[in-house]
Structure 1
Amino acid sequence: MADWYWRPWQGQEFLTCGLLQPWPHGFFTRQFWPRLPPDLGAALAADATVQRVKQVHGNRVLCPADLPGENPTGGLAEADGLISDRAQQSLWVCSADCSPVLIGDRATGQVAAIHAGWRGTAQAIVPVAVSKLQAQGSRLEDLVVAIGPAIAGSVYQVANEVAAAVGRPLMTQAADNDGAVDDGAVDDGAAIEALFEQDHAFLLPDENPGKVRLDVRLANLEQLVQLGLSREQVAVAPHCTFQEPDRFFSYRRTGEKQVQWSGIVSQGSLGI
């Protein structure tokens, strides 16, 4: 299990992960609200260019080169992930109960920052980001991933159709691997039964009919493992946004649209 550390900055603390030690990075708490990445970036690297997007719960992943310039006419680009295309880029995503995912490449120094809610996870946003990193020269064995504070499965009750949507990318990949029938014709109830039979850790039973408990963090972990990463390459933060109100905002807990930010800074000479 990777170690997690609290790092002090301006009288408060933000969370860091040992797997990402080579990169300036942080998962910030509610204590930093309402500060934005242009301000928070100084905690990581004062001279890095700060990049963020307008998050829309999809699976679009962009590079800074794809974003509007200093005088944009249309505001922030709509996406839920960023991958670096040069050194000293500070990439940011915000979340409340969704999973903030930070990725580093130990060989090239490039990074990714991803907002993975259940909708983005159902659309395999983290594998999309990994694929884009690979297109820029990354190898799976060089990647390390930290999944930050998010709502834990034990307290996240969802309808069967939500859990089935999240589980289908894993079922589809498994079918591709073993030649089984594609899951496209499987209804939500049958999909949930199949996922439970496969003993996926991201699903827990719920006492209410038509409901299950869903851990989006672990669904993303399983997607990464299916891609070919080892479990030692991925760390999941031991913090739940719903159960730690003193540290984190949670939309499921309060219904308020307040967020905490997570960021990482690319390093090295990327050669791209």
Structure 2
Amino acid sequence: MHVWHWRTWEGLPYLTCSLLEPWQHGFFTQQFSPRNPAELVAVLQPDAQVYRVKQVHGNKVLSASEICAQMEIPELDGLPSADGILTVQGQQAVWVCSADCTPVLIADEVTGQVAAVHAGWRGTAGKIVPQAIARLIAQGSLLPDLRIAMGPAIAGEVYQVSVDVAAEVGASIIPQQEGILSSLQELSNSPILPDPEEGKVRLDVRRVNELQLEQMGISGEQIAIAPYCTYQQPEYFFSYRRDKLKKVQWSGIVSK
């Protein structure tokens, strides 16, 4: 079993995962707000280069080099739009922010390269984590060398969505036109849970991401899922679903 550790920095709590122990990384809590990655990198590796994007709930993944190139285009004005970032050399810190969506940190124990992904339901439907892994593989990674940690996010038992949303997300692992929900419900540890409201279900987005990884041939030992829910633990995490406030916590990892 992978172990999640509470750490503190200047008295403020953040999480790390034993699976990613060789890399400087952290899933930060709301207590660090309003610090941004340029400040938070001091907790991990003060001299690392910081990379972030304008998150848009899509499935686009950019490399650190592509972010730099796009930021030099005057017409773009600001951060490029994407929901995943991967490194191309050592000492690069990649960051994503989230409130209820899943922050995913990926590391390659052979190359030392890493990725950070923001996987909400839309990004998950678009298989953003497999997209990020495909980019790493194109850079020389091998599937057995990857380590993937999914941080605090809204838990399936409290995440109510429409059956249409659940079917759209479910189609990423069950490629059929009809009966997606019933097929999902038949899976062991199903990502679909019942909801008392008509036309609604509960959706475990992290479990869907885990199933996508398993379908790629990644073993369960390579995956860790944080036992924390942003919605149910207001003492640590912002939750848009709970508070309707546009506040976020950051997650980041540094390449070797």
TM-score relative to the length of structure 1: 0.91
Which residue of 2 is the match for residue 27 of structure 1?
27
Which residues of structure 1 form unaligned runs of 5+?
173-182, 268-272
Q: Secondary structure at the match of 2:171?
A: helix
CA displacement at 1:200 relative to structure 2: 5.2
Which residue of 1 is the match for residue 119 of structure 2?
116
Q: Secondary structure at the match of 1:67?
A: helix
1:41-190 equivalence runs, <5 A = 41-68=41-68, 73=74, 74-172=77-175, 183=176, 185-186=177-178, 190=179
Letter paired with 1:89: Q
Mapped contact 1:113–1:264 kept (Cα < 8 A): yes
Q: How far apart are the structure 1 equivalents of 2:187 and 2:229?
A: 25
Mapped pair 1:218 → 2:207: yes
Q: How far apart are the structure 1 equivalents of 2:26 and 2:156?
A: 23
Which residue of 2 is the match for residue 242 of structure 1?
231
Moved more, 255-264 or 66-75: 66-75
Q: How far apart are the structure 2 equivalents of 1:14 and 1:110?
A: 22
Mapped contact 1:68–1:76 kept (Cα < 8 A): no
Which residues of structure 2 form unaligned runs of 5+?
none
How far does the alpha carbon of each residue in 1:78-116 deviate from its partner, in whole angstroms, 9 at most, with x for none?
Answer: 000001100000000000000000000011000000000
Identity %: 57
Q: Secondary structure at the match of 1:150?
A: coil
Aligned-pair Cα RMSD in Å: 1.2
Q: How far apart are the structure 1 equivalents of 2:241 and 2:187?
A: 28
Which residue of 1 is the match for residue 197 of structure 2?
208
Which residue of 2 is the match for residue 252 of structure 1?
241
Instruction: Kindly report structure 1 stretches of 4+ aligned residues shifted beyond 4 Å.
Output: 69-72
Q: Secondary structure at the match of 2:19?
A: helix
Mapped pair 1:233 → 2:222: yes
Mapped contact 2:116–2:253 kept (Cα < 8 A): yes
Mapped contact 1:23–1:265 kept (Cα < 8 A): yes
Q: How far apart are the structure 2 equivalents of 1:240 and 1:198?
A: 22
